[in-house]
């Protein structure tokens, strides 16, 4: 007979005997997937839903809940079922806005629309008025936001994925649809959009389970929220026993987090850590992934990537294209062509396009890509040559190169920490420790990166010995 730990027993007892929402704060590798499966097995819902913001997590759930009555869908997919859009889903980009206005104003309009879609607000007009209340061109921007939001509603322009969530949210609020289950499980509730959290609350179900951990909330830059913070009034139980990390690694992580993040942080390792033979090189940015790829190519070493090579190289390739007077083919970076025109018109003596971007474009991805390109230039390395060779390189599934954001949720025998992760933590320490949410996110990234490891950590210099 399966023996549960005291923490696991508390979770089973609560959700079996009580209706409502239960949140489970599950540390890295503590078995939240196991718990979600056991909860479904014990409750045996005639109609259940397992969902998450991340498509990859839901895809894993399909295998876990096979041969059960629990369907696995992202909230976007669930929204699509009810909204039934008549046009294809597309991103809204600066080229969608037909008014002859500066790129900056178009960018502000798009950002505000996206912010409304991912928010918990049900009042479009009130949201935009409040969003731009202190802006010099508030009236113009509010009118633009309303115009393009209404255009998605009436189908005159293509809807975005986040529009689907907002529209579904409003349908639930106004009770225009019936969405009912016996059990709803929301995984990674620490990293969800505010609108997703509202949908989770509004779906009719007697029992709801939210799984995740505040200290693994690392996607704030995507305008995500932490469900534990937003729903702190709900019952919260903990899982602190990791079945992935060795006792030594877990002890080092716990000392690091207790001392610098939260004295209440608890994390216990196992005497049977993951030993799957796999190695992860973990970094924070695509720019450092490209640097590592270059190193592997120089040493004729195979590697495996968790994202498409074209996506990893997208920003530096787009910058290189724009710097040559060409329009980047990626929609996301077409604005760089406009920035190049501005650079040519405003060019200062001795200023390069790269230095212009560093001074004028406040975007971490662009900033890191520019620094990478400047580094390659000093070393006489050709980006397009690396890109071509990377696509043809041998694949070694035992050696993964990835950012902490894509490696989250995965586990490896060995984890090698990238230089940029260490540099970030040391920089925060030199400035007196955690000062703001950005600093806190960096520490959480370090925790997530190091806790991917089963038996060996390489270059985790910020952890105590």
- Domain boundaries along the sequence of the chain: 6-82+169-238, 94-157, 279-410
Number of H helices, E strands in the chain: 21, 13
Residues 6+ apart with CB under 8 A from 394: 302
DSSP3 helix / strand / coil % (the chain, rounded to 5): 50, 15, 35
**CA triple 46-48-49, angle to 5 deg:** 165
Query: How much of the chain, in percent, has pLDDT values that exceed 90?
Result: 86
Please, which pLDDT band fits residue 346 given cuts at 50, 70 and 90?
Answer: confident
pLDDT for 1 beyond 70: no
Give the pLDDT confidence score for residue 364 in this predicted structure.
81
pLDDT for 12 beyond 90: yes
Closest CA to 383 of 315, 333, 281: 315
Report, as an integer, the average pLDDT of 148-167. Answer: 95
Report, as an integer, the average pLDDT of 161-187. Answer: 97
Report, as an integer, the average pLDDT of 299-318. Answer: 95
Average pLDDT in the chain: 94
pLDDT for 224 beyond 80: yes
pLDDT for 305 beyond 60: yes
Report, as an integer, the average pLDDT of 298-303. Answer: 96
Residues 6+ apart with CB under 8 A from 76: 161, 164, 165
pTM score, whole prediction: 0.87
303 pairs with which residues across the strands? 395
Give the pLDDT confidence score for residue 363 in this predicted structure.
81
Report, as an integer, the average pLDDT of 267-276. Answer: 97
List pLDDT tens digits, range 351-394. 999 999 999 988 888 999 999 999 999 999 999 999 999 999 99
Q: At what angle do helices 437-450 and 419-430 cross, to 10 degrees?
A: 140
CA 300 to chain centre: 31
279 pairs with which residues across the strands? 399, 414
Q: Are the CB atoms for 109 and 97 separated by under 8 Å? A: yes
pLDDT for 265 beyond 80: yes
Please, which pLDDT band fits residue 184 given cuts at 50, 70 and 90?
Answer: very high
pLDDT for 208 beyond 80: yes
List pLDDT tens digits, range 391-449. 999 999 999 999 999 999 899 999 999 999 999 999 999 999 999 999 999 999 999 99
Give the pLDDT confidence score for residue 107 in this predicted structure.
87
For the chain, the residue count is 465
List pLDDT tens digits, range 55-94. 878 888 998 999 899 999 999 999 999 999 989 999 998 7
Report, as an integer, the average pLDDT of 268-292. Answer: 96
Give the best-scoring range by mean pLDDT among 94-103, 133-142, 326-335, 336-345: 133-142
- b or e along 373-410 (b: 16 or more beta carbons within 10 Å of the residue's beta carbon)? beebeeeeeebeebbeebeebeeeeebbbbbbbbbbbb
401 pairs with which residues across the strands? 281, 305
Closest CA to 219 of 336, 88, 54: 54
Q: What is the CATH number of domain 6-82+169-238?
A: 3.40.50.300
Please, which pLDDT band fits residue 220 given cuts at 50, 70 and 90?
Answer: confident
């Amino acid at each position: 007979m399966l023996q549960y730990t005291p923490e696991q027993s508390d979770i089973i007892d609560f959700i079996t005997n009580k209706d409502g929402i239960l949140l489970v704060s599950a540390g890295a590798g503590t078995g939240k997937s196991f718990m979600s499966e056991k909860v479904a097995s014990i409750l045996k819902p005639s109609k259940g839903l397992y969902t998450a913001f991340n498509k990859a997590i839901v895809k894993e759930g399909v295998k876990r809940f096979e041969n059960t009555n629990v369907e696995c869908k992202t909230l976007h997919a669930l929204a699509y079922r009810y909204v039934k859009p008549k046009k294809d889903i597309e991103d809204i980009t600066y080229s969608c806005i037909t008014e002859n206005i500066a790129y900056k104003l178009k960018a502000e309009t798009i950002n505000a629309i996206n912010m409304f879609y991912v928010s918990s607000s049900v009042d479009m007009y009130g949201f935009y008025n409040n969003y731009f209340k202190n802006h010099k061109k508030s009236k113009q921007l509010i009118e633009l936001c309303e115009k393009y939001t209404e255009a998605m509603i009436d189908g005159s322009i293509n809807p975005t994925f986040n529009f689907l969530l907002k529209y579904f949210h409003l349908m639930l609020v106004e009770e225009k649809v019936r969405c009912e289950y016996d059990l709803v499980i929301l995984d990674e509730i620490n990293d969800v959009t505010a609108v997703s959290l509202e949908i989770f609350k509004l779906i009719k179900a007697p029992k709801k389970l939210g799984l995740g951990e505040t200290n693994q909330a690392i996607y704030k830059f995507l305008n995500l929220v932490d469900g534990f913070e937003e729903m702190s009034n709900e019952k919260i139980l903990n899982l602190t026993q990791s079945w992935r990390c060795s006792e030594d690694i877990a002890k080092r992580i716990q000392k690091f987090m207790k001392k610098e993040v939260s004295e209440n942080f608890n994390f216990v390792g196992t005497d049977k850590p993951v030993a799957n033979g796999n190695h992860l090189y973990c970094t924070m940015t695509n720019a450092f992934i490209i640097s590592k790829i270059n190193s592997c190519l120089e040493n004729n070493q195979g590697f495996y990537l968790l994202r498409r090579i074209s996506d990893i190289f997208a920003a530096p390739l787009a910058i290189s294209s724009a710097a040559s007077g060409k329009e980047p083919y990626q929609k996301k970076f077409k604005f760089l062509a406009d920035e190049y025109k501005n650079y040519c018109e405003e060019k200062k003596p001795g200023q390069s396009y790269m230095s212009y971007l560093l001074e004028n474009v406040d975007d971490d991805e662009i900033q890191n890509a520019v620094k990478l390109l400047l580094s390659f230039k000093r070393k006489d390395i050709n980006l397009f040559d690396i890109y071509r060779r990377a696509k043809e390189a041998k694949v070694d599934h035992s050696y993964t190169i990835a950012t902490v954001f894509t490696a989250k949720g995965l586990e490896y025998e060995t984890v090698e920490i990238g230089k940029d992760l260490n540099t970030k933590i040391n920089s925060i320490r030199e400035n007196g420790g955690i000062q703001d949410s950005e600093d806190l996110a960096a520490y959480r990234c370090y925790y997530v990166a190091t806790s991917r490891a089963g038996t060996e950590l390489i270059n985790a210099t910020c952890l105590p010995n």
